[in-house]
Every structure is written in structure tokens, then in C-alpha cells.
Chains A and B, each alone.
Chain A
Amino acid sequence: MELISLFPTWYEPAVGSGWVVGFIATFHVLASHTSVGAALLFAYLSYRAWKDDRDDYLDFVKKYGLFLLVFTYVAGSLTGVGIWYSTTVASPNGIGALIHSFVWKWATEWVFFVIEVIGIYMIVYLVGKVDKKTHMKISVIFGIASFATMVIIVGILSFMMVPGKEAWFDEGGYLLGFYGDNTFIQLAMRAMFMLTMTAVVGGIIVAGIKDAAFKKEMTRKLGWLGIIATLLGAAMFQLYLNSVPDYALLVMENRLPDYFGPSIAIVLGLTIGYFILTMVQPKFLVSGFAGTMAIVILVAGLWPEETARESMRKPWVAGQYVYSNQIIGRDVPGMDIQSQLPLIEKVGILKAHPFTPEHLREAHNGNQIQAGEFITMTYCANCHSVSESGIRPLHRYFPDQVTQEVMARYIRGALVPGNIAYMPKMPMLESEVQAIAAYLTKINNDGLDATNLAISEEIANREAEKVQLVKQPGLVISMKSSAEEIQ
């Protein structure tokens, strides 16, 4: 057998597996960035509390810390694990590539996670139980540990877009994969964003402060933090766009929805306006307003930004060598990795896939629709839905009542050689081209129910043929395996 590293496919028809990852990741980014930013703020406030002997700063830290403990640490830590789980089921080879290159880096981050989790409990529960100097020391350690989790993960996220140095492809090694233009600029951009989030979410706590003078002071502090971070963050985003490969910008221009640019601009304006308003009139700062702003930034700012980052790296999903459909599409001599495309070209995707059922290993007239379904699930389902709903439904790309011949010509001309810029190369044997064309045509013209019915008929016919063969005298012994299978 000549097999490649392909796992079963999880197909999520309602929204698409990619969006499931996106939902979890976006929520995690909101929670984790707020936590890291707040950790730095706590370090600063705890330091000031010690230097200026201010109890109210520590009281604020305690309240903000408890809020974060319940909301962002619970949901943040679980959605962080959730990103692993969701990418495992949506993109096992994508996450596998990152895990196998950066396992020690993740393990190092884990040390800081442990420090963070114990640290947040100490920061919250030890206010008033230890002297201010000790609280300051705990807070400073906590702040640096939190920031360490961010600097580590950003290097891994950058690798997803593009390995740090081009030399990584030839020489391999953790350092060349981790550090590069994209790493540091993305880090700066995310650092600014996390401070913005800290200022916005912190508003929920400031809104509850009863002492008017202290409320005004904290509103101003958070306001300035928010404004400066938002402006610098916007500038960093522009720099970030300059640090990604040219093709990524091209993909971004072609693939992102029209509302992306205006949406980012509106959120920027809203955020700055919000900070100015609350600084001038702290009485406007109520928890509902601050909470709404956090959601606005999440929905209108963070979601498009994360979507852009996800879309830009297509057709790759990790390190510019793992395609979004999980196939390795490029040699990486430095890691002794070979492209899987030549083998697929030679034996076909059905024979190369370890999970192809025995009866589908060769496509023919008797199993064409089902073989087509299997190929579609393998090659397309990560990014396209076969139903009416879901992510980028396939039926939108083909005219009504398209013929199988036209469909096959399109597949042969565009998909097999990889002639669509942001889509992977998808080698297929001619029998496989016919199979996927038959399936896509059926889906497009007759819908999903009719296609599933056609598959059921193929299976029923196959079973009937087996029974027929067993019933024929003289064939029983030679078809022993079939008979056993039926029994």
C-alpha cells in the first residue's frame, strides 16, 4: 500500500468546520488578550499601590481580577484548549505540523500557564492578606509570565502564515521557523490590541466604582491607555500587512468581504470615540455601555481581523507546506518532508488515502457518486459546504444544470493542476475526475437528498451483486471473503 498522512474528514454542514474553529479562536483571543493586558495593568497598579500606599488601586485589581478569573480565565483557558481540539478535528495535519515543530515551545508556554493560573488566584485572594510590597512582586511576576504566554504563541501563529526565515525550508530547526518579520510585527500588533481590550473591559469594573474622584482617575488612565494602544495598533496592522507574503495580500483583496475595510475603520473610530467620551464624562461609563463596547469590538473588529488572518494564508494552513485540505504540497528538505503530490498523481487520491473503504479504492461506474463524495470530503470539505448552507457552498460556483462533462473539464483544467491562486493543487486519476464530477453535478443539479439516495442505490446494487455472486455455484469458494463480509 502507498499511503499518505490523511485522517478521516469531519464535515460540519451548518456552518463549516473552519467557522467552528473561528468561533472558538475568536472568543479565545478576546479572553486571552484581555487577560494578558490586564496582567500588565495589574503589575503597574500594584507597583503604584506599593509606592504611593494606595489601597484603592489594589481594590480595583482585586475586583478586575475576580471578574477575569470567572470570565476570561475559565472561558479563556478552556477555549485555548478548545482551539487544539477544534483544529484537531478540523485540520489534524495543520495542528500536527505545528505540534511537531513547536512541541517544546508549547511545553514552555505551559510552564507560564501554570504560573499564570496560580498567580491570578494569589493576586485576587491575597489583597489585604499580604503587605503591598509582596503583592507588587507577585503581580510583576504574574505580568511577565502572562506576557510570556503571548510572545510564545505569536511565534507559532506567525509560522502558520509563513516560517520565520526562508532558510527554514532548507535547514529546518525551531529558531528559523519561529523568528521572522511576521513574528515581531504581529507581536507588536497583538500587544496593542490586548491593551485596548484591557481598557475596554476594565471599563466594566470602573463603572462600578462609587468614589467619583477615583472613578475619574481610573477612567482617564484606562482612556489614555486605550487611545494610545488603539492608534498604535492600527499603525501596526498596516505594518503587519507589509510583513506578509505578496500572494497573501492578493488573496485578502480577492477573498475578504467588502465590509472588511469599513468595518475595521468604524470600529477604530468607535473605540477612540468611546474612550474620549468616557474620559470627558465619566458618568457615561456604566457597565452596560462598557460591556456592549467589548462585544462590538469582538464582533466588528476582532472577527474580521481573525478572519483576514485565516483567509490570507490560503491555500496553505501551516508553514506554507500543508495545504488547507491537509495534504503536504511542498518539499521541506530541512525537515526531511516530501510533498505528497507526486504519490497522489501516481496512484490517485483514493488509493493514497488510508481511510478509503475497500470498495471505493478504485472509482468506476458502480461507485462513482460515492467515490466522488469521498474525494469531495477529502479535497473540498474543509473550505466548502456541499449543502445549501454552511461555508462557501459549492453550488454557488457552478451554473444550474451544468453537465458532468463541463464539470469534469473544469476539474481537469483548474483544480487538478492547481490553477486557482488560493486553492490547493488536487491531483486525481481520470476515473477520479469522473467520479467527483458526477458527484458535484448531482449535488448541483438535484440537491443533497437526491445525491444521498443515489449513493444508497450504489451501495444496494453492490450488495445485491455480492449476493448474486455467492448464489452462483462454483463461485462460493472463490468469493469466500465476500460471503463472510455479508454474514
Chain B
Amino acid sequence: METVQLTEMMYALRNPAGVPFYPIVFIALGVLTFAMHIFFVQLMLGTGAITAYGAFSNNPYWQRLASSMLEIAKVSVSVAIVIGVAPLLFVQVVYDPQWYTANVLSARWVIAFIVIMIMAYWLMYYYYFRNGKFGQGADKPKARWSIIASLAIFLVAGWIMHSLTSQMLHPELWQSWYSPNGMIDTSGSQLHANSPWRFAFFILTAIPVAGAMLVAYRRFKAVREDADHAYLDWAAELGKKWLKVGSLLVLIPYLGWMLTLPETAENFAGSIWSILPALGFIGLAVWSHLRLNDPKSICNYMVLAMAFIAVLLPSIGREVLRYDILNGFFGYNFFDYKVIIDWYSTLLFFGTFAVVGGAVLGYFLTIAWKVGQSKGVYVPSAAVDRAGTIAIWIISLWMLHFFVLGFWVWMQ
């Protein structure tokens, strides 16, 4: 098929309902939420790897660290899944022709992804319940296979998603995947495209991200009266090593990815969008080397933000690369998606995100933070308690507005 025919085909596949706001906003939200999603995926993989390593180690520090990181890994999976909903939503809004085609052509894998994820998550919980929070260190952990299997299966799930996003970028091959040798294949049984370098880059970034968590972990736990500083210092040193070595290590697969980009990516590899992510990781390594020497410094928390920025840069680069291929080579420009602006639902989202999300999550995270640093039962201050009351009012008013507006529309 000629390129111009492919362009016409992708435009035909757009949903005729259009989009309710300017497409660039969905792209921006997609990039931001993807970066958050992949950050928690990497956190889960990194802390999960620590748990697995600690399960086989005789070093009591490793065993203890493994136990603590399992808690973070568990929560990170939940957060990664729930945050992952957002980029999955936004990619369907402006890149529906590419995303839906890529999915249908590998439908069995798409369905398998759900089962695989549930299995991997339950295996992690299985390991947790077999050993209990303090099980490790006291005795050799039981069912160690389950944490290894969990991580391996999560990687399979990651490979499926990686393949689907790769397939989106090859409209020139879709027809040959759907009718190989002239025979229609409706089975969806194959994964058709991949880039091992790209996959390795996003997976190995788990090393610096987990390193950042270890440094923040020391800072967070050190304020408690019952803190074991020797252990926490050991964990933070390990984290610093992972941050510095890991940040430089990921440059290898990143370079491999950039050097093996398809021809349709044209000059992306030499562009600023390709160079910035590499600079980001080099910057993270240098910053970690210079700024993490004082255990009490605020930099021990800031390191998480720095790691996130390092992850955000390739997330932006990934989006620009997609635009370069689909618009630059194939002439599909998301900017010209039909727009039928719906102000109410647009404002509702941003209002809910900022006001309800801000008030409630601010309150929740304050409580969680304070509890983590307290011994015994935590009783919030009057100000924090009032923040909880305000959060209840805000979320209640949201619900009230939903029904009042709904009944008004209903009665029209």
C-alpha cells in the first residue's frame, strides 16, 4: 500500500464522534500519566527484585530490606495499575486508529494480558501471605519461587504492552499481518513487532528508580525513635550505588534503541528529543553523586522527584517519536482530530482532579506520612483533622452536584 493510502486509511479509522477538547491536552495528559505509570512499574520491578534477592540472601540486612520493599512493591503494583488506566484512556482518544488496530491484530495476547497480570499479582500476594510481614529474617522465606515467578510474569505482561505500542507505529505492515500470504488471519494469535532495546531500557530503569526509593526510605525511617541507623545507612548506600550505576547503565539500551529505530523515524535519533533523556539520566547520576552525602538533607526526598524527571524525559521523547513516525512519515496528524468541545465535562474533570483529588489525596497522604513516622496510635493535629472534614465536604458536594444536575437534565 502506498503511504498516501495508509494516511487515508488511518484518517478513515478515526472515530467520527470526534474529541471533546483540544487533542494536545489529551496528549499532554497521556504523557504525564504514562510517566507516572511507568515510574510505579519500575518501582515495583526494582523493589520486587530486591525482595527476590533478599529471599535467597543470608545477609540479615538484605532479608530485612526485602521484607520492607515487598510492602512497597505490593502497593506499587496497585498504583501502577490504577494510574495506568489514564494513559490507556488518552491513547484511545487521539490514536484510536493505531491503538485499536494494534490490539485487534494481537487480540489473544491482549486478553491473556489480563489473566497474566492477575496471576503475577496474586503470586506476589501469595509470597507475602506465606511469609508475613516479619517472616523474613527470622527464618528462611517460604515459597521463594512465587516471588521469582511473579516478577517473570510481570515482565511477560510488560512485553505484551511493549509489542502493542510497537505495532501502532507500523501501519505499513498491518495489512500483511492481517492477511499473511493472502489468507485472512482473524486469530490475533501473534505479537508482530518489538524492539528489545526499548524494552530493556524501560525495564532497567527500575534500577535507578529503586535506588532513589532506598535513599528516601532511609530519610523517612531515620526520624523514628526506634530507627536502626546502621541498617538504614547500608540501605541508602546501596540505593546511591544503584542510582549512579543504574542511571549510566540504562544509557546502553537507550543508545541501542535510538540506533535501531525504524527508517520511518527519519532523523529522530539525532534530535533534541532523543538527546534530552540521555542527558536526564547522566544528570541524575551526577546529581546523586553530588547531593546525597548528607543523610538529613531534603535532597534525600528530592531524589524521587529527580528520578521521576529522568523517567518523564524519555516519556516525552517516546511521544515525540510516535508523532515523528505517524505524522512525519505517514502524514497522520493528531492535531487535526475533529473537535466538538464539551465544556461541562472538561471542567468537571479538571475540577475533580484539582479540587477533590487535591483535598482528599492531600489529607490521605498527610495521614499516611505521619503514621509512618509515629510510634503507637497517631492522633492528628487540629489542622490535619480539619483537612479531613474539608475533604469530606468537598467530596460530598461533588456527589450532590452529580445528582442535582442529573435530576435537572432528566426533568427537562
Complexed CA–CA distance, A485 and B379 (Å): 75
Residue among B8, B75, B402 with most chain A CB within 10 A: B402
A3 pairs with B12, CB closer than 8 A: yes
B19 pairs with A103, CB closer than 8 A: yes
Complexed CA–CA distance, A11 and B189 (Å): 11
Complexed CA–CA distance, A1 and B105 (Å): 23
Cβ of A249 < 8 Å from any Cβ of B?
Answer: no
**Of residues 70 to 120 in A, which have CB atoms within 8 Å of B's CB atoms?**
70, 73-75, 77-82, 84-86, 88-90, 92-93, 95-97, 99-108, 110-119
| Nearest CB on A from B389, distance (A) | 7
A104 pairs with B348, CB closer than 8 A: yes
Partner of B179 from the list A73, A116, A140, A357 (CB cut-off 8 Å) is A357
B186 pairs with A381, CB closer than 8 A: yes
| Nearest CB on B from A59, distance (A) | 15
**Of residues 165 to 192 in A, which have CB atoms within 8 Å of B's CB atoms?**
165, 172-176, 178-181, 183-184
| Nearest CB on B from A343, distance (A) | 11
Q: Which residue of B lies closest to A136 (CB)?
A: B388
Cβ of A402 < 8 Å from any Cβ of B?
Answer: no
Complexed CA–CA distance, A421 and B405 (Å): 36
Complexed CA–CA distance, A84 and B103 (Å): 11
Given A8-B105, A99-B89, A108-B348, residue A85 in contact with residue B396 (CB < 8 A): no
Cβ of A121 < 8 Å from any Cβ of B?
Answer: yes
A81 pairs with B371, CB closer than 8 A: no
Given A1-B8, A74-B122, residue A96 in contact with residue B15 (CB < 8 A): yes
Cβ of A122 < 8 Å from any Cβ of B?
Answer: yes
Partner of B16 from the list A5, A355, A455 (CB cut-off 8 Å) is A5
**Of residues 117 to 153 in A, which have CB atoms within 8 Å of B's CB atoms?**
117-119, 121-122, 126, 128-131, 133-134, 137-138, 140-141, 144-145, 147-148, 151
Complexed CA–CA distance, A165 and B20 (Å): 19
Complexed CA–CA distance, A6 and B178 (Å): 13
Given A11-B187, A336-B340, A357-B179, residue A129 in contact with residue B360 (CB < 8 A): no
Per the CB 8 Å criterion, the residue count for chain A at the interface is: 106
Complexed CA–CA distance, A118 and B81 (Å): 12
Complexed CA–CA distance, A399 and B172 (Å): 43
B345 pairs with A174, CB closer than 8 A: yes
Given A86-B111, A134-B380, A381-B186, residue A103 in contact with residue B89 (CB < 8 A): yes
| Nearest CB on B from A73, distance (A) | 7
Given A10-B188, A96-B96, A357-B179, residue A148 in contact with residue B398 (CB < 8 A): yes
B356 pairs with A111, CB closer than 8 A: yes
Cβ of B260 < 8 Å from any Cβ of A?
Answer: no
When distances are taken between beta carbons in the complex, the residues of chain A under 8 Å from B308 are none
Partner of B110 from the list A88, A102, A106 (CB cut-off 8 Å) is A88
Residue among A17, A81, A183, A373 with most chain B CB within 10 A: A81
B367 pairs with A126, CB closer than 8 A: yes
A97 pairs with B364, CB closer than 8 A: no
Partner of A130 from the list B90, B377, B395 (CB cut-off 8 Å) is B377
Complexed CA–CA distance, A138 and B368 (Å): 11
**Of residues 33 to 85 in B, which have CB atoms within 8 Å of A's CB atoms?**
75, 78-79, 81-85
Q: Mark B116-130, 1 if CB is under 8 A from A, else 0.
A: 011001100100000
Partner of A103 from the list B20, B82, B99, B111 (CB cut-off 8 Å) is B20
Cβ of A4 < 8 Å from any Cβ of B?
Answer: yes
Complexed CA–CA distance, A86 and B112 (Å): 10
Cβ of A416 < 8 Å from any Cβ of B?
Answer: no
Given A81-B84, A86-B111, residue A459 in contact with residue B409 (CB < 8 A): no
B101 pairs with A8, CB closer than 8 A: yes
When distances are taken between beta carbons in the complex, the residues of chain B under 8 Å from A73 are 78
Complexed CA–CA distance, A94 and B93 (Å): 13
When distances are taken between beta carbons in the complex, the residues of chain B under 8 Å from A364 are none
Q: Mark A1-24, 1 if CB is under 8 A from B, else 0.
A: 101111111111000010010001
Partner of B104 from the list A10, A119, A151, A332 (CB cut-off 8 Å) is A10
B82 pairs with A113, CB closer than 8 A: yes
Given A85-B111, A103-B93, A176-B409, residue A74 in contact with residue B118 (CB < 8 A): yes
A141 pairs with B349, CB closer than 8 A: no
When distances are taken between beta carbons in the complex, the residues of chain B under 8 Å from A9 are 104, 186
Given A141-B392, A184-B410, residue A70 in contact with residue B361 (CB < 8 A): no
When distances are taken between beta carbons in the complex, the residues of chain A under 8 Å from B20 are 100-101, 103-104, 174
Partner of A373 from the list B175, B184, B344, B395 (CB cut-off 8 Å) is B184
Partner of A355 from the list B79, B85, B175, B187 (CB cut-off 8 Å) is B175
A130 pairs with B367, CB closer than 8 A: yes
Cβ of B385 < 8 Å from any Cβ of A?
Answer: yes
| Nearest CB on A from B143, distance (A) | 15
B86 pairs with A96, CB closer than 8 A: no
A151 pairs with B412, CB closer than 8 A: no
B182 pairs with A78, CB closer than 8 A: no
When distances are taken between beta carbons in the complex, the residues of chain B under 8 Å from A115 are 356-357, 360-361, 364
Given A130-B377, A174-B342, A357-B182, residue A165 in contact with residue B118 (CB < 8 A): no
Partner of A97 from the list B17, B183, B353, B367 (CB cut-off 8 Å) is B17
When distances are taken between beta carbons in the complex, the residues of chain B under 8 Å from A178 are 406, 409
| Nearest CB on A from B150, distance (A) | 12
CB-defined A-B contacts under 8 Å, sample of 29: A7-B101, A8-B105, A10-B188, A11-B186, A12-B107, A74-B125, A81-B85, A85-B103, A85-B113, A86-B114, A100-B18, A100-B93, A104-B20, A104-B345, A105-B348, A107-B29, A115-B360, A121-B78, A122-B364, A129-B377, A130-B379, A131-B379, A137-B391, A141-B360, A144-B399, A148-B399, A151-B402, A359-B182, A373-B184
- Name 18 extra pairs, CB < 8 A, besides A141-B363, A373-B184: A3-B9, A4-B12, A8-B174, A8-B178, A70-B125, A78-B114, A88-B103, A105-B348, A107-B89, A108-B348, A121-B75, A121-B78, A130-B380, A131-B380, A174-B342, A183-B406, A184-B407, A328-B16
| In the complex, the 8 A-B pairs of residues with the closest C-beta atoms, listed nearest first | A3-B12, A10-B107, A89-B107, A82-B114, A104-B345, A11-B186, A100-B17, A137-B388
